[in-house]
Structure 1
């Protein structure tokens, strides 16, 4: 069940026994947790019990759930990081969970507890018996990342909760500047609302004045300058990124990803796809596609493939050296081909 539909169900029936929140969008997970807690009668945030299943056995969660509450009619328990629902990673499991006990409990959960399992992972292992049983017995809520126009619409709608408004182009520009992390976007909207006061309209100038550029945005600028052969701009942006704490190996990987995006956009454009179709096919925000398509340098496919080849070489060099990686990457940018 997607979040928007799930929230309506929580409002209708606030005393469900088991929830399972999946997906990688932490903002939606936190908002859903808050909504479940706020809709549970006589429960305040401070009354909620939290367990980290990477440190504590699920058996303790079951024991707590089956213990009658003292001061309320119902208790709320949050069991975070239910990693036993995803594919097992060799050597990474700290706790042996009594999954047979959990399977039995799922058949007959406590009537006086709401237990919320969170599995903040991209994918669960649907082959596992425990995953099948959990998804059949719990209300499953998918907190997946919003992309494309869905994210733009969300930004515009979320802005209204702070008493401000913005048009589509400004919302897209905010995403391009701050990145696609919903938690960060929410913080930036709150900050702009405090700054604007009685003025309720967010403009591009307001975004420029208040919102720092995300590392992803700066990587786009760096890649664009590098591909265009603008050595001075490439080095200027590179040094800005170093000062903000970005690592050369991570930067190289992100630049390669941006070059691949340029290649994919170019290929789909030649096939006759328009901006929205390309964004949907590649599962990226339309504004990122727009920036690539509007690139005045218009790099050739051969230029992009050469860049990828050079980036693969420098990536290997960075990973195999124990010396000054910052200098290695700087020399790479200075010797553009």
Structure 2
């Protein structure tokens, strides 16, 4: 279920005994934790709320708390965080957990306890027995990122509730600059609203000036200058990166990823696919697809392929120490810009 459904259920006192929260959108996770804590009064929380870090605390201790009867209240609330055993990751110094104990508990949970397991990882290991049981038995709550359309709509609604409007182009730019993160976008809204305090309208100029560029965005601009054959601007950007102590190995990796996206979007566009379909197929933000298609519109596939092959060769050279990495990247710019 989504956050809105969870909020409605808890408000109507439709509370289950085991919840499995997945996703990495910190704004949603914080809101979910707040909603569950509201099930208890401040007095009840002192006696009946517990939070366990499962990288350091055993499942035996956590379950022991979960099966305990509540003190002076109707229910006990238990948060289980960092359940590393739901992923394929190997966590150093983590306690070895007997997940069969958790499997047994969720099949027959304590009726007066609400156990909320926060699996805020990028990827879960669906092959594991514990994950299969949690997906099957627990109430699953999605705290993952919103798709670009819903994210833009939600941000627009948030601003509207506060009496502000945002231009469509500015909204798309905000989503792109914050990498489709609702949490990060929320962090930027405060200064944007302050900027537009009089007009109540947030425009592209505001987003450009107030929302910081990510390294990916700056490398995207470097690639723009290279593709446009603006060698002086490309060299200037590159030297700014060097002054910021950004390693050419990192620049090469980002540029490789962006060139790959250019080629992929161009191929799929040539096959007749629209921007939304391409974004869904490549699992990238639609605005990135839009920018990539704009970049590659007047470029020949042969030139893009040659550039991609050279950046792959450059990646190998800088990682294997075949020459000065700063000079090698500079030569790449000179060749294509």
TM band (smaller chain): 0.7 to 0.9
Write the deviation string for residues 68-121 of structure 1: whole angstroms up to 9, x where unpaired: 4446543433211222123x3467572211222212221232333322111123
Partner of 2:318: 318
Query: Residue 135 of structure 1 aligns to a residue in which SS?
Result: helix
CA RMSD of aligned residues (A): 3.0
Query: Residue 20 of structure 1 aligns to a residue in which SS?
Result: strand
Write the deviation string for residues 217-267 of structure 1: whole angstroms up to 9, x where unpaired: 222212222333322222333344455564433332221121111112211
* Residues 62 and 149 of structure 1, relative CA distance in 2, 3 Å threshold: same
Structure 1 portions without partners, runs of 5+: none
Query: Residue 229 of structure 1 aligns to a residue in which SS?
Result: coil
* Residues 135 and 242 of structure 1, relative CA distance in 2, 3 Å threshold: farther
**Preserved contact between residue 65 and residue 77 of structure 1 (Cα < 8 Å):** yes
Q: Distance in 2 between matches of 1:112 and 1:148?
A: 39
Structure 2 portions without partners, runs of 5+: none
* Residues 240 and 149 of structure 1, relative CA distance in 2, 3 Å threshold: farther
**Preserved contact between residue 148 and residue 175 of structure 2 (Cα < 8 Å):** no
Partner of 2:304: 304
* Residues 328 and 79 of structure 1, relative CA distance in 2, 3 Å threshold: farther
Partner of 1:81: 82
Partner of 2:20: 20
Partner of 1:254: 254
Partner of 1:124: 124
* Residues 11 and 323 of structure 1, relative CA distance in 2, 3 Å threshold: farther
* Residues 59 and 286 of structure 1, relative CA distance in 2, 3 Å threshold: same
Query: Residue 165 of structure 2 aligns to a residue in which SS?
Result: coil
Query: Residue 117 of structure 1 aligns to a residue in which SS?
Result: strand
Residue 176 of structure 1, CA deviation: 2.9
Write the deviation string for residues 280-330 of structure 1: whole angstroms up to 9, x where unpaired: 333322222222222387221111111221121222223233997555534
- 2:170 matches 1:170: yes
* Residues 190 and 229 of structure 1, relative CA distance in 2, 3 Å threshold: same
- How many equivalent residue pairs? 335
* Residues 252 and 29 of structure 1, relative CA distance in 2, 3 Å threshold: farther
**Preserved contact between residue 14 and residue 36 of structure 1 (Cα < 8 Å):** no
Q: Distance in 2 between matches of 1:64 and 1:103?
A: 16
Q: TM-score, normalised by structure 1?
A: 0.86
Q: Distance in 1 between matches of 2:226 and 2:145?
A: 30
Partner of 1:52: 53
Q: Distance in 2 between matches of 1:97 and 1:124?
A: 17
Q: TM-score, normalised by structure 2?
A: 0.86
* Residues 265 and 231 of structure 1, relative CA distance in 2, 3 Å threshold: same
* Residues 67 and 248 of structure 1, relative CA distance in 2, 3 Å threshold: farther
Q: Distance in 2 between matches of 1:200 and 1:111?
A: 50
**Preserved contact between residue 22 and residue 121 of structure 1 (Cα < 8 Å):** yes
Query: Residue 298 of structure 2 aligns to a residue in which SS?
Result: coil
Q: Distance in 2 between matches of 1:7 and 1:322?
A: 57
Query: Residue 49 of structure 1 aligns to a residue in which SS?
Result: strand
Q: Distance in 1 between matches of 2:62 and 2:286?
A: 43
Partner of 2:68: 67
Residue 144 of structure 1, CA deviation: 2.4
- 2:278 matches 1:278: yes
Matches within 5 A, 1:83-232: 83-86=84-87, 88-89=88-89, 94-232=94-232
Query: Residue 294 of structure 1 aligns to a residue in which SS?
Result: helix
